[in-house]
Amino acid sequence: MIIEPKKISKNLKIGLVAPSFGCTMEPYYSRLKASIETFKSLNYQVVEGENIYLEKGVVSSNTPKKRAEEFNKMYKSDVDVIFSVGGGELMCEILPFIDFEMVKKLPPKWFIGFSDNTNLTFTLTTISNVMTIYGPCGNKFYHYPFKYDSKDTFRLINGSNKFIGYKKYEINSLASEENPLTDYNLTEKKIIKKYKYNGPFKGILLGGCLDCLITLCGTKFDNMKEFNKNNQEIIWYLEACDLNPLDIRRALFQLKEADWFKNTKGFLIGRPLCQDQNIMGLDKYKATIDILKSFNVPILMDVDLGHLPPSLPIKNGANAKVELINNNSNIKITYL
């Protein structure tokens, strides 16, 4: 059974940790500072981890052990929600030092992060059986009132159960060192492509950043055999950061052949950074459909998920119904 942390609408206590990058450069430094001020203006308590403004590690805030210790300490504390302050590249290296058994035994609390934070959002759900939120990091709450993904993240924390995608997305950010607090530059109209979709489908939402998932596959932190044994209906949500269409095809092949997808009832595929890239006739659509079509389940592509924001926050490990609405131009996720 996957346990859901309690719903919180007031007197929120937020913990900030840096299990991957610390916020040492722009626009992330100014955004985190502004986000903390926003939280405090809402009368939320903020507990800052010791690594959030550091870059003492190899492409990371600190050593793997110290980054893991920061998370373990924060999970044991009395905070209600833990935000990672940023993504990064080498968060996988903290996993040998994460106390998954401690997480199992303590009352669950939300851990929220994006991209490289898949290393925790995915493993906390599949190993420790607690729900997490694959959503914006703690430096993304610098504008108030919240909107798009930042608004929907707090709606998830507060217990809302219906979420609808956004009309447009950003392909070119306007953020810079001189102007770090820009809003999204939403210029591209979202169009969802569908395969084998004949109506709403249900299952447990599970997934994250494909770049990270293939690193976990086959390690001692790969608990998918046990997770699949205990959860018979899964909706996989997947998005990619650095992978090109060939990489995406290889990654999906790897997870398929590792039997990760054996209980799938559908796929939600987000927008990768290689959105319009074509390599020798292979684009992201062919890369994905060719590998996944044998499951004979719905595949929805270009949903509001991924590194071209805004990206719907996803409650990892939760039962949900997914459907297309508005003449099949938008996605609706209803938590059950």
| CATH number of the domain enclosing 259 | 3.50.30.60
pLDDT in tens, 169-227: 999 999 888 899 999 999 999 999 999 999 999 999 999 999 999 999 999 999 999 99
For position 96, which CATH number holds?
A: 3.40.50.10740
User: Roughly how many angstroms between the first and final C-alpha of the chain, as a whole number?
Assistant: 15
pLDDT grade for 280, boundaries at 50, 70 and 90: very high
Residues in contact with 132: Cβ distance below 8 Å, sequence separation at least 6, in sequence order: 110, 111, 112, 120, 121, 122, 124, 125, 315, 316, 317
Looking at 127, 161, 195, the residue that finishes a domain is: 161
Judge if 178 and 145 occupy the same domain: no
Q: Per-residue pLDDT for 242 more than 90?
A: yes
Q: Are 103 and 128 in contact (CB under 8 A)?
A: yes
Query: 214 and 117 share a domain?
Result: no
* Per-residue pLDDT, 11: 84
107 lies in which domain range? Answer: 13-161
Determine, yes or no, domain membership for 4: no
How far is Cα 85 from Cα 241, in angstroms, rounded to an integer?
18
**130 and 201 part of one domain:** no
> In this prediction, what percent of the chain has a pLDDT beyond 90?
96
Query: What's the CA gap between 119 and 109, in Å, rounded?
Result: 17
pTM, two decimal places:
0.97
Last residue of some domain: 104, 133, 161?
Answer: 161
Model pLDDT, residue 44: 95
Query: According to the model, what pLDDT value does residue 95 have?
Result: 98
Q: Is the pLDDT of residue 286 over 90?
A: yes
Instruction: State yes or no: pLDDT of 1 exceeds 90.
Output: no
pLDDT digits (tens, 9 = 90+) for 143-165: 999 999 999 999 999 999 999 99
Instruction: For residues 50 and 15, give the distance between their C-alpha atoms in angstroms, rounded to a whole number.
Output: 11
What confidence score (pLDDT) does residue 177 get? 85
> What is the token pair recorded at 224?
């998918």
User: Domain ends where: 161, 178, 209?
Assistant: 161
Number of separate helices (H) and strands (E) present in the chain: 9, 16
Closest C-alpha to 144, from 41, 294, 268: 41
Mean pLDDT of the chain: 96
Query: Do 176 and 112 reside in the same domain of the chain?
Result: no
Residues 125 and 55 in one domain: yes
Query: Is residue 198 domain-shared with residue 320, that is, in the same domain?
Result: yes
| pLDDT value for 219 | 98
Count of the separate structural domains present in the chain: 2
CB atoms within 10 A of CB 145: 7
One domain, residues 219 and 314: yes
Beta strands in the chain (DSSP E): 13-17, 45-48, 81-84, 110-113, 132-134, 162-164, 168-170, 186-189, 193-195, 201-209, 234-239, 264-271, 299-306, 314-316, 319-325, 330-335
pLDDT at 10 (0 to 100): 77
CA distance 81 to 14: 5
Same domain, 44 and 138: yes
Residue pLDDT, tens place only, 3-58 = 999 887 678 999 999 999 999 999 999 999 999 999 999 999 999 999 999 999 99
| Rounded Cα distance, 91 and 75, in Å | 17
| Residue 328, pLDDT score | 87
CB-based contact 21:54 (threshold 8 Å): no
